Structure 1
Amino acid sequence: MENVTVVTDYRLIIDNLKKDEFQGRPDFGLWEDRNSGKRNRGVLLCDGPVWQEQRRFVLRGLRDFGFGKESMEGMLIHELQELQNTLKNDIGHPVSLAGVFNASVLNSLWHIVTGNRFELTDPTLKNLIKLLIEVIGYCQFEMSVLFKDTSCTYVKLLLFCSNVSNLLITTPALFFYWPVKNGLMGRKMFKSSLKFREDVRLLLQKVIDEHWDTYKEGEARDFVDAYIEQIKATNSDSSSFYSEEGSNTFLILWSYCKTVASLAETTSTTLQWAALYSLTFPECRRRFKMKLTMSLDDLDLQAEEINPAVLNEVHRMCSLIPVSVYHKAVQDSEIGGYFIPKNSVVFFSIYDAHHDAGYWGDPNSFRPERFLDKSETKLIRHEPLIPFSSGKRQCLGETLARDTLFLFFAGLLQTFTFEIDPVSSNNDLKGTPSFISAPKPFKVILKERK
């Protein structure tokens, strides 16, 4: 059995997320299965020299093909306009926002990776999103099976994670027999997961083959071209880009696509939370300042300090990823005076950092102004706010996620007014106590703003 440590003190969380000794990932057998017996793939679930090399490449690739460039903002505006046109077809009817944003966010990421985009009505895209939602849905353990009180605190969730991780990390076969209300989660999840993987494999293989056939040296068009370029330029057999390792482009890109899918789902879910909070607290909508008469092309991502303040408070309140992805101690260490043996699994509770009463004072109150100075003209940085984690394992897509959240939220408020559907909705702000804290299902009625 591996040792498991759960860190809930915000100061210890922030300090230790930055330490090199906790940058490892556990040897989770399921990860090896998904990577054809090799766990060091991509950036999310691997560690060591391969992770360091791939992480540097991804950061450089994202910078070269999107992040921080005007072209990326234009791409996001195009996806927003496509989404607005699609939503106009549902004006006056109850609409579930779950899954609505996935296609647009996925398109933005897909463009960076492959240089192409889908039409929102494309059956391939719709099928991938359907499978993605299924897979993530099965990953959200139904806590009611374990606790009679379905509004259990995240302390219970953390204890649950500690015990489950011990079992699954050492005996991954148990995943197939993990119970949920309507059957065995493992079997359902893996059926959807395998279907999702095969569909993505076919799509990716086509993209990769096309890029190898059309690649021109020194003229990288997108992330895939950059990867091919790196493979061709690598001569050291110690590199993850060398020979068999590097040429197996599919497995690496599959790992990146899992990261892309996760980013799309979390960004989409955060937009759902932002919509729900704006409906529950009308002041949120009023304080999200923008000139409703200006064109989308004139939207400034940094225009008003109150805007990121509102979204920061949404991040804090919903704590979308309440518990960090598994970390592993790569050497004997200590946290807060407690000895942490090498290979221990470490969880960092993002939820506790966001709801520490000693720091925030009123953590259960929705107050965007806590992120502003007294004049409400300057944004205040709060160190315990870490929705994208912190340190070297911080989300590589944070820039895109923040820009997407702001632009889509502002753009939708500019175009539509939202009302809770009184018949089919439950505006419960507790969310689902699981690994991704999604709002409970709700529907809205859209009206076009005049």
Structure 2
Amino acid sequence: MDIHISNLTLTLFLPVVLLLFTWHYVSSRLHPGLPPGPTGLPVVGYLPFLGLKPYKTFTKLVKQYGPIYSVKMGSRIVVVLNGCTVIREAFVKKGRQFAGRPHWMLSKLNGGRGIANHQPTTHWREIRKFSSNILRTFGDRHSKMEAKVTQEVSYFMQDLHKTDSKPVDLRHNVQRMVSNVICSICFGERFEYDDQQFQKLIHYVEIFFQNIDSKSATNFLPFLWYLPMKANTAVEETYTFIMRFVEERIESHQATYNADEPRDFIDLFITANEEGQHPKKNGSIEEDVHKTSYNIDDLKYIVIDLFFGGTETVIAAIMWSLVYMLVFPDVQKKVQDELDKVVGREKNVTMSDRKELPYTQAVIKEILRMCNVIPMVIPHETVEDIDLCGYNLPKGTTIFGNLYSVHMDEDEWSEPHTFRPERFLDPNDNSTVTSEAFMPYSAGRRNCLGEHLAKMEIFLFFTSILQKFTIESAGTNPSLDGRHGITHMPHQFNLTATPR
């Protein structure tokens, strides 16, 4: 009987195994023009070998396969780009051909709407350009936006004074500060830090980011989406809550909208939509001379993109700035000395002071290079057949851009794993310099939409806290090796802040 069962099991099992290996072999060789890469396993491909921080694994593979290679990940073949030269060739020089987005997990939630996940259509280009112009207007130093950021920093500083130099974890304080800046831009209002709806919003955004990473395999093994997994439920529930939060504020804006007094991003988008829906008149003849493709239904998805893109990444950058100043107190002292000399301790730091603070700018750049807030860009997709570095990538190829490999490239940076702000200073006149291999906000058509605003927030926070406080580790120094996830965030740590 046992022999019979074993034979039956073997008879059923072997064909399945052979079928899986045949499928894996055939699917891995569908496009002979793709670059070679590591061999994975049937069905799951190379997913089991990526580890908790795939960007580091991808960087190690460069030594064996070069800066561009293919990796089988579940049901997808992914082409991974590493290093400054290859990534700029694809995303900048051939940006149009690489501007697509693969159909991935978030597309199931937003239908590919908004900006981050939208395909590069004419409609996408219009709403992205419009949104970028608004953020630049808000982020300009002559606008009210600097005042809003400075105001939120001042509330943060008040809370920091209340700690009375006792150990504190500032993560939630930073969350509230950054989230309120985005709320000011999008909704025209800031929230009190103890507001329950505001606290719930921040909590749901945090839960969303915690679970979105654990679902990354869903992008390559789509059947996982339909399984009753905790992460699936968490992502759907948090996205639904955030969507409703945004919808309620859009509805309120529509009810109180005044075209002559736009209050925020939502009002400006409503204005653009109204102008597109109601063409201007020329005498008695109505002519469609101001036709746009702005759609009020797109607004909620764009606002959510702004909130996701403008909170977690900036929070991570600010938290890393604290970490590096704790680990490198000598650098902290040099920044403070420069601030004392240029600004003093009484006057608030402004964006107009930035050009006179080259060492401070260099420190911020080196922190962003080292911490790699976004180690890998949101996946791209080729929109047509395209040649890259001697390989033929067919239309619809999923592309990974490994920014970590750019910032840790020994050909671009001397001792890349060493924290050295001076690398961003010109030795001749001590002015700030940059490099094409510095791309914390990515590059090309899909670069960070809120780069201008993010730079303002990071600069004003960093300079304001070091102008007024000296920070020290409460116990051992925090680790420079952060948590894995879409956003590279430091592990939890405490510090003490002593007024200067």
- TM-score, with structure 1 as normaliser: 0.84
CA distance in 2, matches of 1:74, 1:324: 31
1:126 aligns with one of 193, 199, 222:
199
Q: What does 1:49-60 align with in structure 2 at a 5 Å threshold?
A: 49=121, 50-60=123-133
Distance across 1 between alignment mates of 2:474 and 2:329: 15
SS of the residue corresponding to residue 334 of structure 1 reads strand
Residues 1:63 and 1:429: Cα distance change in structure 2 (over 3 Å): closer
Are the aligned partners of 2:188 and 2:264 in contact in 1 as well (CA < 8 Å)? yes
Provide the C-alpha distance between the structure 1 equivalents of 2:426 and 2:98, rounded to a whole number of angstroms.
35
Is the CA contact 1:301–1:407 (under 8 Å) kept in the aligned structure 2? no
Match of 2:346 in 1: 294
- For the residues of structure 2 that align with 1:263 and 1:221, how far apart are their CA atoms? 19
The yes-or-no answer on 1:441 pairing with 2:483 is no
Q: 1:315 Cα deviation (Å)?
A: 0.7
**Does the CA contact (< 8 Å) of 2:250 and 2:300 recur in 1?**
no
* Contact 1:426/1:440 (<8 A) preserved: no
CA distance in 1, matches of 2:244, 2:394: 42
Shift of 1:216: 2.3
Q: Which residue of 2 aligns with 1:222?
A: 264
- Structure 2 counterpart of 1:7: 81
Q: For residues 101-156 of structure 1, give each alpha carbon's deviation from its aligned partner in whole angstroms, at most 9, with x where no partner exists.
A: 121112112111121111222222112112211221223449xxxxxxxxxxxxxx
Matches within 5 A, 1:25-424: 25-28=101-104, 30-35=105-110, 38-39=111-112, 41-49=113-121, 50-141=123-214, 164=217, 168-169=218-219, 171-175=221-225, 187-235=229-277, 240-241=293-294, 246-248=295-297, 252-288=299-335, 289-291=338-340, 292-296=344-348, 300-375=353-428, 377-422=430-475
Secondary structure of the equivalent of 2:497?
Answer: strand
1:403 CA displacement: 1.0
Cα distance change of structure 1 residues 8 and 239 upon mapping to structure 2, 3 Å threshold: same
Q: 2: CA distance between counterparts of 1:95 and 1:374?
A: 38
Within 1, Cα distance between the matches of 2:272 and 2:255? 16
Aligned equivalents of 1:66, 1:373: Cα separation in 2: 27
d(CA) in 2 for partners of 1:73 and 1:238? 33
Cα displacement string for residues 235-276 of structure 1 (whole angstroms, at most 9, x for unaligned residues): 4899542xxxx242xx53234223322321111111111111
Partner SS for 2:411: helix
CA contact (8 A) 1:94 1:421 kept: yes
Question: Is the partner of 2:80 in helix, strand or coil?
Answer: strand
Contact 2:310 2:454 in 1 (8 A): yes
Q: Which amino acid aligns with 2:348?
A: L
1:301 is displaced (CA, Å) by 3.1
Q: CA deviation at 1:319?
A: 1.0
2:78 alignment partner AA: V
2:362 counterpart letter in structure 1:
A
2:135–2:453: 8 Å Cα contact kept in structure 1?
A: no
Contact map agreement 1:99 1:268 (CA 8 A) in 2: no
Query: Residues 68 and 393 of structure 1: is their aligned pair in 2 closer, same or farther, counting only changes over 3 Å?
Result: farther
Percent identity for Structure 1 against Structure 2: 28
Post-superposition shift, 1:199? Answer: 3.3
Whether the 8 Å CA contact 1:418–1:447 is kept in 2: the answer is yes
Structure 1 residue 171 displacement after superposition: 4.3
- Contact 2:349/2:463, CA 8 A, preserved across alignment: no
Aligned residues: CA RMSD: 2.3
**CA gap 1:310/1:297 in 2 versus in 1, 3 angstroms:** closer
Q: Distance in 1 between matches of 2:483 and 2:422?
A: 26
Distance 1:24 1:298, change over 3 A: closer
Tell me the CA shift for residue 170 of structure 1.
5.6
Partner of 2:247, secondary structure, is helix
Asked if structure 2 preserves the Cα contact closer than 8 Å seen for 1:80 and 1:104, the reply is yes
Contact kept, 8 Å, 2:139 with 2:452, in 1: the verdict is no
Q: Deviations over 1:66-107 (max 9, x none)?
A: 444332211111110011112222233322233331211121
Comparing 108-117 with 325-334, greater Cα deviation is found at 108-117
Which SS does the other structure have where 2:355 is aligned?
coil
Seen in structure 2, the aligned counterparts of structure 1 residues 69 and 42 have a Cα distance that, compared at 3 Å, is farther
Distance 1:373-1:25 versus aligned 2 partners, 3 A rule: same
**What amino acid is aligned across from residue 215 of structure 1 in structure 2?**
Y
**1:169-226 CA-partner distances (Å, limit 9, x unpaired):** 464341465xxxxxxxx83334333443343334323322221122223432221111
Show structure 2 runs of 5+ residues with no match: 1-74, 278-287
Q: CA deviation at 1:33?
A: 2.6
Match of residue 157 from structure 1? none
Higher relative contact order (CA closer than 8 Å, sequence separation 6+):
1
DSSP 3-state at the match of 1:446: strand
Aligned mates of 1:335, 1:281 — CA distance in 2:
41
Deviations 1:18-53, CA, capped at 9 Å, x for gaps: 12100010122x333312xx32x1111112223212
Aligned residue-pair number: 406
Give the Cα separation in 2 of the matches to 1:64 and 1:313: 27
Distance 1:217 1:24 in 2: 35
> In the alignment, residue 392 of structure 1 is paired with which amino acid?
R
Amino acid in the other structure paired with 1:9 = G
